[in-house]
Amino acid sequence: MIKVDAAFIERVTSDPEFNATACMNCGVCTAVCPMEIELLPRKLFRYAMLGLKDKVLEHTESVYQCLLCKMCEANCGADVHIADNVRCLRGYISKEIFGL
Amino acid sequence: MSDRRIGVYICHCGGNISDYVAVERVREAVEHEEGVVVAKTTMFACSDASQEEMIEDIREQKLDGMVVASCSPTLHLLTFRGVAERAGLNPYRYVQVNLREQCSWAHTDLPQEATEKAVHLVKAGIAKARLSQSLEKIRIETVPRALVVGAGVAGLRAALALSDLGISVFVAEKSERVGGWLGEFGDTYPHGRSGSGLVDELLKDLEQRENVQIYTEAELVSKSGSVGDFTVELRVKGEPITLNVGSIIVATGFTPYQPEEGEYGYGEDGVVTLPEFVRLLEQCDGQLTYQGRPVKQVAYIYCVGSRDQSGERGHPYCSRYCCNAAVHASSLAHELSPEIHQFHLYRDMRTYGKFELLYMNARKQGALFVRFNEEALPEVSRNDGRLHVKVKDMLTAGEELDIEADLVVLVTGMEPRPNETLNDALKLPVGLDGFFKEIHPKLRPVETVIDGVFIAGAAQAPRNSAESAASALAAAAKTAALLKKGYVELEPLVAMVDAEACAWCGECLEACPYSAVSQASRDGKEIAEINTAVCKGCGACVPVCPRDALQVKGYEDQQVRAMIEALGSAR
């Protein structure tokens, strides 16, 4: 059982760049990812949106593996700014976890 | 020897029949049957040329009976009755034999036997034609007035449409006020106009009309008569009123599903149904609060009381409107308090058609949608003074989530409204789901098996206000089509009573599914009487009569006996 953390949701989604809420979970992004990062990005965003902080941090490596090539963004059916969203999460992790 | 003059036409149906049945052999086998004066085969009996030939034969040969052995009567009975009528032959002296569906198509691997069967079928048709009589359609003068039961959006819209068409309307509303559920609502989707505003608009229009009379606190207690000419009794504020109307539109609406105590925590402080939540939204000013406390997190649980195949927690059907209504309410809540977090726990989002935009809008506003499975329903509990909803999110492959909520909204569906007095009076058929049942959901969507009684709105099935108004317009159009002509013609193939044989035992009354039988005194004797306008000629009364006093016209015992003999005769 994972607790939904509303404060985390607020922290992540308050960034105006973060627009993953429009995601409809179709999975095209995962299918076209050249890095074959299975988790990225739909599951990661879902964890972030649901406020599952621990789950997001568990996948810190994946967040930094992304090439930001925007292949997923070009193919997204819901116009989610995937690369920007990944940057938002990197920003959060860099600041809150690594203290940069 | 019969002195009848019968014409027999055997159709090839372009090969549909003649590929398997030797139609020429059939013709040869029946041409010398008693009473047959014309026996022909034809490539397409329904073709113009063939119809003209039949008309010529009827006139020149002075035919007084006709048999066409072709396809199902569903397809062409009326076609050939029309041929007879145009040639001056009573259409009820025409008999159709179904050689296609009931012979050639059914026995494609046995052409020999199919031909023999065809001969017997045609002989049986000839036997029936020999005993056929001229019948006249039952004509009923219609009353140019209609009764609408229920003054919700469907009832009011139907009344307005009928008034526009020049038909006087009585509207009977059970409660004290008109407008139904829509009249209680504020913002409605997808246009954002207020429900009460829409109802006021309808009422304002109706008030200006002289041919509309609205009764509140009115109930329909009984109905007699038949299509085009009903006598209905209303009880208005306790006083009986009798009306004479040509048709009745039933638009009695729905009632929202009321969860049981403890169902998803219902009864707990902070667990509300969707209608309760919508009312709360309307009362809140500036910020979403519940009992004085600000609301930060809202969890919606969908399909409460709907789509339950097990039958333990409500109804098996989808209530159709609730997904749209819930995402719309979510947007209203967001507009009121943009900082709140909203979690929608759904089974399937059925925001059909343009309502997809409402769903998209709610997602863009930040509402989160969590899909759960029927096998693992969400659980609502109270821990440390807060409501917790536990759910298995199918979109993260079954991650179990614990969502804290200040408010849990149970997205409840629609139930049929209990209307015992009305049901007793009208005897309308009700489907397995408890809603009134139409004849066919696509082909005859507002008609019922009771001629002249139509259904509209959510009394028929769960639907939203726009769909209710659309069905009300359909019912109004059907009513107008019925009443504006001034009369209705009904099939004369109805039951008749032999007054001498009948000794009134009441068996037929019990057997009749249409309430067409009543007890009557004739020459000091009690007998059964058939209301020919209500009788559908189903024949249920005929076999139960211990004295053989009942017959159905066009299917009299001697006709049926003759047909059986022809079917069983030697080759």
| Least confident residue range of A96-100, B63-67, B247-251 | A96-100
The answer, for B348 touching chain A at a CB cutoff of 8 Å, is: no
CA distance B409 to chain A (A): 18
pLDDT for B395 equals: 84
d(CA B399, CA B473): 48
**Given the structure tokens 């913002």, which residue do they identify?**
B187
d(CA B14, CA B22): 13
pLDDT for A20 equals: 81
In contact, B493 and B537? CB cutoff 8 Å: yes
pLDDT for B470 equals: 97
pLDDT bracket for residue B293 (50, 70, 90): very high
Q: Which two tokens stand for residue A3?
A: 């607790």
pLDDT for A38 equals: 67
- What CA–CA distances, in Å, run from B321 to A87, B88, B189, B281, B352? 40, 55, 11, 18, 10
The answer, for B368 touching chain A at a CB cutoff of 8 Å, is: yes
Q: Helices B153-164 and B465-483: crossing angle, nearest 10°?
A: 40
Which DSSP letter does residue B260 get? Answer: P
pLDDT for A43 equals: 81
d(CA B471, CA B119): 48
| Least confident residue range of A96-100, B171-175, B225-229, B330-334 | A96-100
pLDDT for B513 equals: 87
d(CA B269, CA B263): 13
* 3-class state of residue B9 by DSSP: strand
In contact, B250 and B454? CB cutoff 8 Å: yes
pLDDT for A6 equals: 85
pLDDT bracket for residue A39 (50, 70, 90): low
Q: Does residue B571 have a pLDDT over 60?
A: no
Question: Sign of torsion, CA B276 B376 B340 B404?
Answer: positive
pLDDT for B570 equals: 64
In contact, B91 and B128? CB cutoff 8 Å: no
The answer, for B422 touching chain A at a CB cutoff of 8 Å, is: no
Q: Give A76's contacts in chain B (Cβ within 8 Å).
A: none
CA distance B363 to chain A (A): 6
Strands B239-245 and B289-290: unpaired
Q: Give A25's contacts in chain B (Cβ within 8 Å).
A: 395
More confident residue, A55 or B114: B114
* 3-class state of residue B75 by DSSP: helix
Express as a percent the part of chain A with pLDDT over 70: 97
pLDDT for B39 equals: 97
pLDDT bracket for residue A5 (50, 70, 90): confident
Beta-carbon contacts below 8 Å between A and B = 50
Query: If you measure CA to CA, which chain B residue comes closest to A13?
Result: B366
Give the model confidence (pLDDT) of B235-270 as tens digits: 999 999 999 999 999 999 999 999 999 999 999 999
Give the model confidence (pLDDT) of B486-529 as tens digits: 999 999 999 999 999 999 999 999 999 888 999 999 888 999 99
With CB atoms and an 8 Å threshold, state whether B343 touches A4: yes
Query: Which one of B396, B400, B407, B408 makes the best mutation probe of the A interface by having the most chain A beta carbons within 10 Å?
Result: B396
With CB atoms and an 8 Å threshold, state whether A2 touches B367: no
Q: Which of B478, B295, B298, B433 lies closest to B370, judged by CA? A: B298
Q: Which two tokens stand for residue B93?
A: 């002296």
Which DSSP letter does residue B321 get? Answer: S
With CB atoms and an 8 Å threshold, state whether B402 touches A1: yes
Bridge partners, B300 (sequence order): B344, B409
pLDDT for A10 equals: 84
CA distance A21 to chain B (A): 6
Q: Which two tokens stand for residue B502?
A: 């009948």
pLDDT for B267 equals: 93
- Give the mean pLDDT of B526-537: 92
Q: Give B390's contacts in chain A (Cβ within 8 Å).
A: 1
Q: Give A22's contacts in chain B (Cβ within 8 Å).
A: 360, 363-364
CA distance B305 to chain A (A): 26
Q: Does residue A91 have a pLDDT over 70?
A: yes
d(CA A43, CA A38): 9
DSSP string, chain A: -EE--HHHHHHHHTSTT--GGG-----HHHHH-TT--SSTTHHHHHHHHTT-HHHHHHTHHHHHH-----HHHHH-TT---HHHHHHHHHHHIIIIIS--
d(CA A86, CA B209): 64
Q: Does residue B112 have a pLDDT over 80?
A: yes
Q: Does residue B95 have a pLDDT over 60?
A: yes
With CB atoms and an 8 Å threshold, state whether B404 touches A2: no
With CB atoms and an 8 Å threshold, state whether A1 touches B390: yes
CA dihedral defined by B151, B155, B159, B160, rounded to 10 degrees?
A: 100
- Give the mean pLDDT of B375-384: 92
- Give the mean pLDDT of B39-55: 97
For B203, counting Cβ atoms within 10 Å of its Cβ (0-12 exposed, 13-18 middle, 19+ buried), the class is middle
For B313, counting Cβ atoms within 10 Å of its Cβ (0-12 exposed, 13-18 middle, 19+ buried), the class is middle
pTM of the entire structure? 0.82
Q: Which of B415, B455, B409 lies closest to B317, judged by CA? A: B415
Consecutive H or E run containing A33: none
Q: Does residue B452 have a pLDDT over 60?
A: yes
Backbone phi and psi for residue B141, each to the nearest 5 degrees, phi listed first: -75, 135
Q: What is the mean pLDDT of chain B?
A: 94
| B402 closest CB neighbour out of A2, A21, A49 | A2
Express as a percent the part of chain B with pLDDT over 90: 88
The answer, for A80 touching chain B at a CB cutoff of 8 Å, is: no
Distance of CA B345 to the CA centre of its chain: 34
Sequence-separated (6 or more) residues with CB below 8 Å from residue B223: B230, B231, B232, B233, B248, B425, B426
Q: Give A1's contacts in chain B (Cβ within 8 Å).
A: 390, 400-402
Q: Which of B411, B331, B405, B408 lies closest to B364, judged by CA? A: B331
The answer, for A6 touching chain B at a CB cutoff of 8 Å, is: yes
Q: Does residue A61 have a pLDDT over 80?
A: yes
pLDDT bracket for residue B313 (50, 70, 90): confident
pLDDT bracket for residue B346 (50, 70, 90): very high
Express as a percent the part of chain B with pLDDT over 70: 99
d(CA B515, CA B228): 17
**Given the structure tokens 């972030």, which residue do they identify?**
A48
DSSP string, B326-344: HHHHHHHHHHH-TT-EEEE
d(CA B427, CA B513): 10
d(CA B391, CA B378): 5
Write down the H helix ranges in B7-72. 23-30, 48-60
With CB atoms and an 8 Å threshold, state whether A3 touches B343: no
Sequence-separated (6 or more) residues with CB below 8 Å from residue B3: B35
In contact, B422 and B411? CB cutoff 8 Å: no
